[in-house]
Amino acid sequence: MSRRVNVIGVGMIRFAKPGASPEYYEMAREAGLAALADAGIPYAAVEQAYVGYVYGDSTCGQRAVYELGLSGIPVVNLNNNCSTGSTALWLARQAIASGAAECVLALGFEKMAKGAIGSHFSDRASPLERHMQVAEALQGSSSAPLAAQMFGGAGREYLREHGIARETFGMIAVKAREHASRNPYALFNQTLSLEQVMASDAVFDPLTRFQCCPPTCGAGAAILCSDDFARRHGIADAVHIAAQSMTTDYPSSFEPPSMIKMIGYDLSREAARQVYEAAAIGPEDVQVVELHDCFTTNELLSYEALGLCAEGGAEQFIRDGANTYGGRVVTNPSGGLLSKGHPLGATGLAQCAELVWQLRGQAGARQVEGARIALQHNLGLGGACVVTLYRRG
């Protein structure tokens, strides 16, 4: 029988622009120590570590974890593209749920170079070959970064199918900056007007510069444990993972050719379905969501894939303000990847930290009132999607 898994400690650092961050192991140390302090336990209590990053050598995980201590525990290095951080969380949860361990560290970090968001897919073209083939078949070649072509192409497809205004995508970026203005961890926390978003440099129609997440350096961490461990350490009323799912590409991701499907729509929809079913709730029960807004187009598509609104209903959802404070569900109160930044290996764990703070009532000026159920969505092309449902109480 699967055991309940609690998140008893989270930590992250304020993300930084490329060239302005410490070394990866220094960032990892800061995030890891913050998570341990938050949990109120020593590093010696941790039995396993799952460490994620996309850029780096094969055992950077050990180099990072050794900053916390030399305890001889298993350290697993992993890379699942942009879903790397939540994949570390997924593996850590499995270790606790199965009874293989009582207390596990999930750690993610990234030290990125300028322009890396645009180039890292093409640097690893082989695993994304089928995705590239779909993109080229549907829209031809372009000099724009591959990621922007893929997610921008999905936006074009949605525009053709539903006839929405291009400004609807821009409204997501405005909302992201408004939320980020309340978040001291966000890299970009100055608000933007819709006019500024739409007038920023064109990247790949309908995307403008302010609708694309920036390359970022940073680290995040989470400490997971069993109920028995929590009781032994006097930890009560912890946030727990009520359900979690990871999906990878389906035949529908590529046939018939669709940019929307190719960037992970069906992965997200199925992972969310599995999570709702396992937790015996529906999307209407969720108060706060951190979802993968690498581009504004993906945030809009994710509203529908996660069941936050009906298919084809995203524009109305956005224009009604249903995606922000005072609306139906607050999406990306942190500012999301668009404003907080997107250090690939750390993103999923930064999402986890935000949602744990929200459910504890520790999110300060960005607190979602009455939040008891939270949803996390982290997507990596190539492809993998992790959806996690958190509860308190």
CATH of the domain at 335: 3.40.47.10
Please say if 60 is a catalytic residue: no
Tell me the DSSP string of 3-17: PPEEEEEEEE---B-
Report the distance separating Cα 207 and Cα 299, nearest Å.
Answer: 12
Per-residue tens of pLDDT for the chain, all 393 residues: 589 999 999 999 999 999 999 999 999 999 999 999 999 999 999 999 999 999 999 999 999 999 999 999 999 999 999 999 999 999 999 999 999 999 999 999 999 987 644 444 444 445 666 676 776 667 766 778 889 999 999 999 999 999 999 999 999 999 999 999 999 999 999 999 999 999 999 999 999 999 999 889 999 999 999 999 999 999 999 999 999 999 999 999 999 999 999 999 999 999 999 999 999 999 999 999 999 999 999 999 999 999 999 999 999 999 999 999 999 999 999 999 999 999 999 999 999 999 999 999 999 999 999 999 999 999 999 899 999 999 997
- The answer to the question of residue 179 being in a domain is no
- The answer to the question of residue 74 being in a domain is yes
Closest CA to 33 of 22, 24, 23, 42: 42
- The total number of structural domains in the chain stands at 1
- The answer to the question of residue 153 being in a domain is no
The residue segments making up the domain with residue 79 are 5-115+214-392
Catalytic-role residue among 60, 82, 294, 309: 82
Q: What's the first-to-final CA gap in the chain, in angstroms?
A: 21
- The answer to the question of residue 20 being in a domain is yes
- Does pTM surpass 0.85? yes
- The answer to the question of residue 70 being in a domain is yes
Enter the tokens of residue 25.
């192991």
Contact 227, 3 (CB under 8 A): yes
Report the distance separating Cα 77 and Cα 67, nearest Å.
Answer: 15
